[in-house]
Amino acid sequence: MKLLEERIRAEGRILSDKVLKVDAFLNHQVDTMLAVEIGREFARLFAHEHITKVLTIEASGIQFAMATGIALNVPFVYAKKKKAVTQGDQVYAASVHSFTRGETYQVSIVKDYLNPEDRVLIVDDFLATGAALVGLADIVAESGATLVGMGCVIEKTFQEGRGLIEERGIPVQSLARIVSMSPGQVEFTAEKPLQPVMAVGESADADHQADQAKETIQSSSTTADLNRIGAGIGC
């Protein structure tokens, strides 16, 4: 995704050969229109997968999961890092190690919000070690739902995350894939434009759903444009 790569080059802060800060536009202060475009791109890439729910982990994946859910016209759910009193005991849980924070914590989702009938797309901001995504995959497996794929905004290809996920046979789509980075410089993979994930045994019905997803994406774009126009006129 060229727009995303350009923003990383312009506004990303490289703290070391493994640590990239994008808090100016992605995961602290958020460029909302960029988040919307990211959601539309994930919706395009997984349009044939009959997705019923988008799943992420708090907090930095929430904006992208929500944008993807809107584009697909499905709910999104986020795993909580701290169990709330209101959650009760009926939860799916997994342990996750954070690379950036250097700590392990438990994430959980109320069982009512993931069902065996669901077809789930996991969305997150970074793919590095893959620990958070593997934890979410374990939760989906425990629920009996079908995990159709994972969408990552930024991938550090020099870390082991993709390998861990692909070992499980899970399709992964990353919008910006970093090969290497050092202070003042970041190198992305030179790849062809991303192509949609095609489910096994594609049918006319799947093509119809993809067309519906495209219409939803276009509709959300029109609505956003109208809202911006209205805000400029009325207030």
What is the model's pLDDT at position 199?
64
Buried/exposed code over 184-201 (b: 16+ C-beta within 10 A; e: otherwise): eebebeeeeeeeebebee
pLDDT score of 117 more than 90: yes
Q: How many helices (H) and strands (E) does the chain have?
A: 6, 10
pLDDT in tens, 59-84: 899 999 999 999 999 999 999 987 66
Task: Check whether 20 is labelled as a binding-site residue.
Answer: yes
What is the model's pLDDT at position 85?
53
pLDDT in tens, 182-209: 988 999 998 777 889 876 445 444 454 5
Q: Which residues pair with 94 in a beta bridge?
A: 107
Task: Check whether 156 is labelled as a binding-site residue.
Answer: yes
Residue percentage of the chain with pLDDT more than 70: 80
Tokens of 73: 């016209």
What is the model's pLDDT at position 113?
97
CATH number for 2-207: choose from 3.40.50.2020, 3.90.550.10, 2.40.160.20, 3.30.420.40.
3.40.50.2020
Task: Check whether 199 is labelled as a binding-site residue.
Answer: no
Q: What is the mean pLDDT of the chain?
A: 86
Q: Which residues pair with 106 in a beta bridge?
A: 95
As a residue count, the chain comes to 235
Q: Please state the rounded mean pLDDT for residues 163-180.
A: 96
CA dist 56 → 101, 132, 173, 182, 218 (Å): 18, 9, 15, 29, 24
pLDDT in tens, 43-52: 999 999 999 9
Task: Check whether 131 is labelled as a binding-site residue.
Answer: yes
Q: How far apart are CA 166 and CA 151, in angstroms?
A: 13
pLDDT in tens, 144-162: 999 999 999 999 999 999 9
Task: Check whether 128 is labelled as a binding-site residue.
Answer: yes
CA dist 130 → 76, 126, 136, 163, 187 (Å): 20, 9, 10, 9, 20
First-residue to last-residue Cα distance in the chain: 34
User: What predicted TM-score, i.e. pTM, was given to this entire model?
Assistant: 0.83
- Please report which confidence band the pLDDT of residue 104 belongs to, taking 50, 70 and 90 as the band edges: confident
H or E segment at 205?
A: helix 204-234
Task: Check whether 176 is labelled as a binding-site residue.
Answer: no
By mean pLDDT, which of 30-34, 105-109, 114-118, 153-157 is the weakest?
105-109
DSSP classification of residue 80: B
The dihedral sign for the CA sequence 138, 57, 109, 72: negative
CA 221 to chain centre: 19
Q: How far apart are CA 161 and CA 217, in angstroms?
A: 29
